[in-house]
Chains A and B, each alone.
Chain A
């Protein structure tokens, strides 16, 4: 069966520090991969999606970036965090049928 894991689960970072969130999918090949953010009181916002290795599409201009160095690995990064980057970050994958499955999420607080 397919599984998705992301880490770290929780982190507190100072403004201006770098960020790296990692996500790995197992049990499927060539999945579509996504990074979403859910800010307090807001809906899910798509940040990036990838349909293959090295193929990244950005939905929202910001100081975040994403990379897909391997088929099952998706990384979200930032060189300098802003206070507004705080939120709940969710990695997800989808296969045939358009159904999307989320990782456990990463809570980021920028202080």
Chain B
């Protein structure tokens, strides 16, 4: 089983729609969780950390469910500029490496 799994998509949504991505992780002792955004042929950039109580940053909401070992990202009122690949990232409780999912592709259309 892969460390971090995501639906690759693509998710094609119209402007203004709400879209949600899920990500599952295999290591129950994982301690830190993040969502990164990667534009085509660019480096990944931190979108937001994911906290146990859930957190929101503008149109973006992240949730963590430790019991079921998944995290989610909700994007409200989608913009054309949200089109990108969204990477789920999990930090195990030991070692230095972060485990990256392969990413979910989002395309927001006019």
Contact = CB atoms under 8 A, between A and B. Distances in A.
Given A32-B96, A49-B97, A99-B34, A105 B43 contact: yes
Interface stretch (A38-46, A61-69, A70-78, A79-87): A38-46
A98 B46 contact: no
Given A32-B96, A46-B97, A49-B97, A99 B41 contact: no
A19 interface: no
A39 B46 CA distance: 20
A98 B91 contact: yes
Given A49-B97, A59-B97, A99 B46 contact: yes
Interface in B30-65: 31-32, 34, 41-46, 49
B11 interface: no
B98 A98 contact: yes
A43 B101 contact: yes
- Name the prevailing secondary structure of the A interface residues: strand
Interface string A82-111: 000000101000100111111111010000
B102 interface: yes
A20 B27 CA distance: 35
Nearest to B97: A46
Nearest to A101: B46
14 contacts: A43-B87, A43-B100, A43-B103, A44-B100, A46-B97, A49-B97, A57-B96, A94-B96, A98-B91, A99-B34, A101-B46, A102-B45, A104-B42, A104-B43
